[in-house]
Amino acid sequence: MLSFLLWLPVLGASIIGFFPGKIESARLRQITTIFAVIILGWTIWLLTQFNLSNSGWQFSEYLPWAEPIGLSYSLAVDGLSLPLVALNGLLTMIAIYSIGENVERPRLYYSLILLINAGITGALVAQNLLLFVIFYELELIPFYLMIAIWGGEKRGYASIKFLLYTAVSGLLILAAFLGISFLNGATSFDYNIITTQRLSLNTQLILLTVLLIGFGIKIPLVPLHTWLPDAYTEASSAVAILLGGILAKLGTYGLIRFGLQLFPEAWSIVAPGLAVIGTVSVLYGALSAIAQKDIKRMVAYSSIGHMGYILVATAAGTQLSILGAVTQMIAHGLILALLFHLVGIVERKVGTRDLDVLNGLMNPIRGLPLTSALLIMAGMASAGIPGLVGFVAEFMIFQGSFSTFPIPTLLCIIASGLTAVYFVILLNRTCFGKLDNKLAYYPTVLRSESIPAFVLTGIILFLGIQPNWLLRWIEPTTDLLAVNSERSSVISYQLTNKSLTLLSGK
Amino acid sequence: MVQTPIKQPTAKLPPSTHQFADVIHRLEAGRSMLPDTPENLMQIIGIYKAYAVPMDFYWRDLLYIAERVFLEPLPFFKYFLPKEYLDLHNHYAGDDADLRIWRGEATAHPELLEFMQKGKTFKMPKLLHHLWHDRINMEFAEACMQAMLWHGRDMGWGKFDAYLDSDEYKANADRAIKAYFKYNPVMLGLYKIFPDMFLEQVRQLSYYSNLGLFWEVMAPVFFEMSDIYDEGGFKGVPDAMNFLVNGIFAVAGRPIYHHVYIRGECYEIIPKSKGFMWLYEAALPYVEAVFYRTAPFRGTKSYNAQAREVPNNQKDFHYGILYADVFPVGTAGIPPTLLMDDMYHFLPDYLKDYYRQHCRGEDDMLIQLGITFQRSMYNVTSAVIQALRQALLYPLDDPNPEHLMANRQFFEAQMDRFKRPEARLRDIQNQDYR
């Protein structure tokens, strides 16, 4: 079942890329949409078939592949990966409609979108460390091409920077995985075989640190974030949606899957440091966003801040905080996609993203009133206004993390107030004020451009009012993760105390 | 066919150095401030037609309020025009006209009657149309009247406003007030306590009458212009402007008065015998108050008087249609949105087709027609400027260079009023301003 999800987009990409004859851009978009709809439909079907009382792996598939190097074609999902797979399917649909119908080199464009979908799905459903790394690295190529070909003015610089950073991220993760395997003497990289319990705490700490840097680049965390503002800003809005909405989530997914789950003891030791890094990311992202003049860059920096919440919550490692962290991954993916989609519309219609130029887009006749209204909605969701999915996630993160890390949590709460500040700046300058008659000859926003925003807004509202429809898939898995983490924390605490007692000679 | 030859002065003046020199040279050649293009001609004539239909309602209702509703304490039904006023004969249209400007009927325009029946929704009782706001926006007409009242005497034209403070006027008003409330002791008691309040209301009603009588002339003028254009009559914008100039002079002497009908008896608050003339007591004050000045604090843009965003002197106000941003958000002065909404119902097909080809087509037709209206009012203002020049100064083809220089100084002084950054004179020179 998961193989279908993985190979259908590859098949779609091949058909679109290599089908003989000339096909119009609009027709290619229709074909891509058909594949995306089937993928999303299949994912929804998987969600309905998912056993909510089972916290373990489901829909497992296994095929031996290159056994001498420990690589197998092993797939499965749990409550951590399946919601992200669904998010991937949804955002692929949104991305298809986030760019005008007449995109240049449409065959390559739509093929790459489907390949990105396949790469991310592969990384999320992989049950083998090497298989994960293969997909993790593979999706860099389509992303690089999409930024380099359809990006903005500085696309060359941004795409190379993105490629270098994320390639280093992949290498570090590969190094950590090889270290885990070799030091364990394992013959396979399958998740169910790999364990770190036989490794010394110091070795675990070294390997975890390498992993943290690798995934920290991907998320990204401060100070490994410098590729993000350039990549998000220079990428087209469709690519920015996929970058921020789902690719960055591979970083936080990796943190939980391979950091928290694979190194529970070492994790409990580095957790306070991670909480500090997460808090710094949150504050840095918010303050930097306030200083921006480019609305896309502002949204990009806001993303750094919101990803910081996930790190703080994961570091706290409580049931509620981990649940909040995974919920935030989904919430942030939805909200960021909505923001980038709307910013893309503004840029296409008005021709600028400059806060000093934009004004009065709320004008009911010559402005972009619907886009502006949805932008206000997205800003509210990002700022964590109750009734929207962003609030649910942030509330769980704050409540779940406060008992473990009270000061970082309080600082994060303050930073969530700063989120409101920069969104008020954005909305006030962009949507309100007087639309200048001399400039206001913007094209109408087409219905096909508005529909993705309506879909995302509907989901954000629905999950904000009825969050159980999201949490029920996640909760069993995160509960199990939290129990394992707490057990390891106790062992780690006992070991540390024992060592101290021995050292003190008592 | 109405086509006035362009005047070519025999004496030559050096070119003007004014920032609007091109426009001044155009005025000196007997043309309009609005560039002479077929597109401009089509737009302004189309909009005159769309303006004339609601105007046919405005003038009838203004007179109805001034003459019949009068001091009704709760005038809920003042916009419910009775048949008598719909059938009221326009003095400048129909077979029995004093001076037949429009060749059409003297009673209410058929398109207006049709709209009053169905509105933009469907046929339903008049009250429901009113409550649904599916009707002609008399609020616009009242805003224009209030602008004339408020700027009143300060405008420098005529003696109408000064007469409203005369003892004669007060005595006439007093007679009418007492007659109107003859069987209403409460209101008579209030009148005893607050006489000035009632008197001020009557002054306002006199302006209702003034504006009603002004628009009674303008509606047939615009209808006739539309018909002439449809027959292929006008060859350019100057022809349209000159038709207006000729019209202004033809009806300049039309009396401006205020009569009130109470229980079948006519009370002459401002008698025709006072000799107030249409040009000086209605047309010129209207252009000054409504086209140039009006007032701030309308629409959603607020002006901060403490920050000197509002001029100290009323004469420096600049919130009229010649300066207005016709966007519904952030506008100022008399809200053009109300008029735009009214004109929208009566646009000729050729103008609708034209708007559909530009900007957002149907979606922003209100804005496009608002800007067309602005263009058309620049043409009307050009006609007024030319009429004033003709009345006060010299012919355009005068052989005396000193006379031509006097004309130029007059034109330059008029153009000085458009030096303000808000003025749209620069914008209307460009066809892409929509």
Assess: ipTM above 0.85. Answer: no
Task: Please list every residue in chain B whose beta carbon sits closer than 8 Å to the beta carbon of residue A437.
Answer: 325-327, 427, 433
Asked if the C-beta of A440 comes within 8 angstroms of chain B's C-beta atoms, the answer is yes
Task: Please list every residue in chain B whose beta carbon sits closer than 8 Å to the beta carbon of residue A438.
Answer: 427
Task: Please list every residue in chain A whose beta carbon sits closer than 8 Å to the beta carbon of residue B357.
Answer: none
Task: Please list every residue in chain A whose beta carbon sits closer than 8 Å to the beta carbon of residue B327.
Answer: 363, 365-366, 434-435, 437, 440
Rounded to an integer, the average pLDDT of B49-61 is 97
What distance in Å separates the CA atoms of residue B254 and residue B212, rounded to the nearest whole number?
Answer: 13
pLDDT at residue B297 greater than cutoff 70: no
Task: Specify the pLDDT at position B301.
Answer: 65
Task: Please list every residue in chain A whose beta carbon sits closer than 8 Å to the beta carbon of residue B366.
Answer: 365
Instruction: Say which residues have a Cβ less than 8 Å from residue A88's Cβ, sequence separation at least 6.
Output: A43, A117, A120, A121, A124, A246
Closest residue on chain B to A369 (Cα)? B329
Residue A77: pLDDT band by 50, 70, 90 thresholds?
very high
Q: In terms of residue numbers, what domain contains B136?
A: 21-155+206-259+278-428
- Three-state SS at B267: strand
Q: Is A365–B325 a contact, with Cβ atoms under 8 angstroms apart?
A: no
Judge whether B134 lies within some domain.
yes
Task: Specify the pLDDT at position A379.
Answer: 93
Task: Please list every residue in chain A whose beta carbon sits closer than 8 Å to the beta carbon of residue B434.
Answer: 441
Rounded to an integer, the average pLDDT of A374-385 is 93
pLDDT tens track for A469-490? 999 999 999 988 887 766 655 5
pLDDT at residue A413 greater than cutoff 90: yes
Provide the token pair at A311.
């790190």
pLDDT at residue B3 greater than cutoff 70: no
Rounded to an integer, the average pLDDT of B248-268 is 95
Task: Please list every residue in chain B whose beta carbon sits closer than 8 Å to the beta carbon of residue A440.
Answer: 327
Q: Which of B301, B327, B427 shows the shortest C-beta gap to A366?
A: B327
- Where is pLDDT greater, at B246 or A191? B246
Q: How far, CA to CA in Å, does A483 sit from each of A102, A266, A488, A490?
A: 51, 15, 9, 11
pLDDT at residue A71 greater than cutoff 50: yes
Asked if the C-beta of A435 comes within 8 angstroms of chain B's C-beta atoms, the answer is yes
pLDDT at residue B330 greater than cutoff 80: no
Rounded to an integer, the average pLDDT of A282-294 is 94
Task: Specify the pLDDT at position B12.
Answer: 79
Residue A500: pLDDT band by 50, 70, 90 thresholds?
very low
Which bin fits B333, alpha (ψ -120 to 50), beta or left (φ > 0)? left
Task: Please list every residue in chain A whose beta carbon sits closer than 8 Å to the beta carbon of residue B329.
Answer: 360, 362-364, 434-435
CA distance between the termini of chain B: 30
Among residues of chain A, what percentage have pLDDT more than 90?
68
From the CA of A322, how many Å to the nearest CA of chain B?
Answer: 47
From the CA of B330, how many Å to the nearest CA of chain A?
Answer: 6
pLDDT tens track for A132-149? 999 999 889 999 999 999
Q: What is the DSSP letter of B279?
A: I
Judge whether B127 lies within some domain.
yes
Q: What share of chain B is helix, strand, coil (3-state, %, to 5)?
A: 55, 5, 40
- Per the CB < 8 A criterion, the answer to whether B327 and A440 are in contact is yes
pLDDT at residue A234 greater than cutoff 70: yes
Closest residue on chain A to B366 (Cα)? A365
Alpha helices in A19-138 (DSSP H): 25-49, 81-96, 106-125, 129-138
Judge whether B12 lies within some domain.
no
Q: Which of B330, B433, B434 shows the shortest C-beta gap to A435?
A: B330
Residue showing tokens 């464009």: A109
Among residues of chain A, what percentage have pLDDT more than 70?
96
Residue of A327, A202, A190, A179 whose CA lies nearest to A252? A327
- Per the CB < 8 A criterion, the answer to whether B300 and B330 are in contact is yes
Provide the token pair at A460.
């954000």
What distance in Å separates the CA atoms of residue B341 and residue B141, rounded to the nearest whole number?
Answer: 13
Domain boundaries, chain A: 272-481
Lowest mean pLDDT among A37-46, B142-151, B152-161: B152-161
Task: Specify the pLDDT at position A438.
Answer: 76
pLDDT tens track for A359-379? 889 888 888 999 999 999 999
pLDDT at residue A66 greater than cutoff 60: yes
Q: What DSSP assignment string belongs to B163-208?
A: HTTSHHHHHHHHHHHHHHTTT-HHHHHHHHH-HHHHHHHHHHHHHH
From the CA of B328, how many Å to the nearest CA of chain A?
Answer: 8
Residue A437: pLDDT band by 50, 70, 90 thresholds?
confident
Rounded to an integer, the average pLDDT of A58-69 is 89
Mean pLDDT, chain A, rounded, equals 89
Q: How many domains does chain B have?
A: 1
Q: Which of A360, A366, A434 shows the shortest C-beta gap to B364?
A: A366
Task: Specify the pLDDT at position B2.
Answer: 45
Q: Is A437–B326 a contact, with Cβ atoms under 8 angstroms apart?
A: yes
Which of the residues A359, A365, A371 would you substitute to probe the B interface, choosing the one with the greatest number of B C-beta atoms within 10 Å? A365
**H/E run at residue A484:** helix A468-504
From the CA of A363, how many Å to the nearest CA of chain B?
Answer: 6
From the CA of A430, how many Å to the nearest CA of chain B?
Answer: 15
Task: Specify the pLDDT at position A70.
Answer: 86
Mean pLDDT, chain B, rounded, equals 92
* Measured torsion, CA atoms of residues A298, A299, A300, A302, in degrees rounded to the nearest 10: 90
Instruction: Say which residues have a Cβ less than 8 Å from residue A428's Cβ, sequence separation at least 6.
Output: none
Closest residue on chain A to B330 (Cα)? A434
- Where is pLDDT greater, at B130 or B298? B130
Judge whether B338 lies within some domain.
yes
* Neighbour count for residue B74 (Cβ, 10 Å): 6
**H/E run at residue B55:** helix B38-64
pLDDT tens track for A9-33? 999 999 998 887 788 888 888 999 9
- Per the CB < 8 A criterion, the answer to whether B45 and B225 are in contact is yes
Which of the residues B323, B325, B329, B357 would you substitute to probe the A interface, choosing the one with the greatest number of A C-beta atoms within 10 Å? B329
Q: Is B367–A435 a contact, with Cβ atoms under 8 angstroms apart?
A: no
- Per the CB < 8 A criterion, the answer to whether B62 and B208 are in contact is yes
Q: Which of B367, B427, B433 shows the shortest C-beta gap to A365?
A: B367
From the CA of A446, how many Å to the nearest CA of chain B?
Answer: 11
Task: Specify the pLDDT at position A497.
Answer: 52
Residue A506: pLDDT band by 50, 70, 90 thresholds?
very low
pLDDT tens track for B32-41? 999 999 999 9
* Measured torsion, CA atoms of residues A78, A84, A86, A90, in degrees rounded to the nearest 10: 180
pLDDT at residue B1 greater than cutoff 50: no
Q: What DSSP assignment string belongs to B149-172?
A: HHHGGGG---SHHHHTTSHHHHHH
Judge whether B26 lies within some domain.
yes
Residue of B163, B240, B252 whose CA lies nearest to B214? B252
Closest residue on chain A to B359 (Cα)? A441
pLDDT tens track for A321-360? 999 999 999 999 999 999 999 999 999 999 999 998 898 8
Residue A491: pLDDT band by 50, 70, 90 thresholds?
low
pLDDT at residue A493 greater than cutoff 60: no
Sign of the Cα pseudo-torsion (A45, A46, A49, A52, in order):
negative
Q: Which of A365, A434, A437 shows the shortest C-beta gap to B366?
A: A365
Lowest mean pLDDT among A231-240, A493-502, B144-153, B386-395: A493-502
Asked if the C-beta of A364 comes within 8 angstroms of chain B's C-beta atoms, the answer is yes
